[in-house]
Amino acid sequence: MSAYCSMLERHPENPILSPEDFPYGPADVVFNCGQTMFEGKTLLLVAVILRNHPTPRIHVATSEDGVHFDIREEPFITRLEEEPFHSLDTWPIDPRVTRIGDTYYIIRPGNSQAGCIAFLEKTTDFVTREFVDIVSLPSNRVPCLFPEQVGGSYVRLDRPYNHSPQPGGVRHELGNIWISYSPDLVHWGRHRFLMGGFSHWNWVKVGPTPPIKTEAGWLEIFHGVTENCSTTRYSLGAMLLDLDDPSRIAGRMESYILTPETDYEWMGRVPDVVFACGAIADLEERRLRVYYGAADTRICLAEGDLDEIIRGCLEGR
């Protein structure tokens, strides 16, 4: 039984990928991963920071059982080669994957002096990738695509920064989730505010992952950030968006579904962090798997009962 009331259970073999497991190292960090099913296997896009290389790269890791992964040696994503994009693409991490039809779209942040923007790329085979465009202005943290059009438009959630004065005059970097629409995945508009922090565990920032279609609504796993005088803590939450009008929250858990409570989540490059770039639902088995970065150092797996999570959202637990 977890010390906290979490909806997700940690896999007993956690962490399932650590820097020591990276066969092409030495690696200091193997963390926050995109996740999807591909050709019947679980596929992770794993961000790796090598000890002897200045910037991260993203490797493909695949698994038959969802727990033991083979990591491909050749990185799948490294910095974009050509200017003007190369100098904006200094830190390839946090890939979000959405399958639309037979194409897998990947959105990841570009961090540079110019600010944090988002690159959209696509692939059909996870061997070659094609750059589509920059799809957000600074500062916008990794838009997440819905897996199909709604009402004739592509839809996304994103997290523009909001530098708001707080009581007492302190400027604070807050982050809220917005929703927007596009005819072609490149031009985005009809921006609407969706959700800000709403509880002690997420009042500083909330940020999205790609929504998952269920019968009850779009299941959205998001991260929530809180701060106290000495630490920042990242947890995961869940909500449901209306299937026909995803700008409407149909249900939301008041509590987190996962929060740091193990040594490997408390200690690492950034302590006190569980961070997900997505989740994988098995709609037949009614299970949800979340591959998450622990303390910005390792990858772990937490699993839950899909119907329980949906009920938790609808009941506002």
- Binding site residues, ligand BMA, CB under 6 A: 32, 93-94, 234, 270, 273, 275, 293, 296
CB of 210 to ligand BMA, least distance (A): 16
| CA distances for 317 relative to 105, 252, 303, 312, angstroms | 33, 8, 18, 5
Nearer to ligand BMA, 45 or 185 (CB): 45
Residue position matching structure tokens 């772990």: 300
Q: What's the CA gap between 315 and 228, in Å, rounded? A: 29
Please state the closest distance from residue 207 (CB atom) to ligand BMA, in A.
8
Supply 105's token pair.
């779209």
**Nearer of residues 252 and 298 to ligand BMA, judged by Cβ:** 298
Smallest distance, ligand BMA to C-beta of residue 314, A: 29
Closest to ligand BMA by CB, 96 vs 252, is 96
Answer for the pair 118, 110: CB distance below 8 angstroms, yes or no. yes
Question: Measured from the CB of residue 310, what is the shortest distance to ligand BMA in angstroms?
Answer: 26
Identify which of residues 10 and 108 has a Cβ nearer to ligand BMA in the complex.
Answer: 108
Transcribe 163-226 into DSSP letters: EEEPTTS-EEEEE-EEEEEESSSSS-EEEEEEE---STTTSSEEE----EEETTEEEEEEEEEE
How long, in residues, is the chain? 317
Closer residue to ligand BMA in complex, CB, 119/234: 234
Q: What is the DSSP string of 17-83?
A: B-GGG-TT--EEEEEEEEEEEETTEEEEEEEEEETT-SS-EEEEEEESSSSS-EEPSS-SB----ST
Tell the smallest beta-carbon distance from residue 111 to ligand BMA (Å): 8
Q: Which is nearer to ligand BMA, 93 or 219 (CB)?
A: 93
Q: Is the peptide bond before 92 cis (omega within 30 degrees of 0)?
A: no
Shorter beta-carbon distance to ligand BMA: residue 33 or 309: 33
Neighbours of 113 (CB within 10 A): 7
Q: How far is the CB of 265 from ligand BMA (least distance, A)?
A: 11
Minimum gap (Å) between residue 118 Cβ and ligand BMA: 13
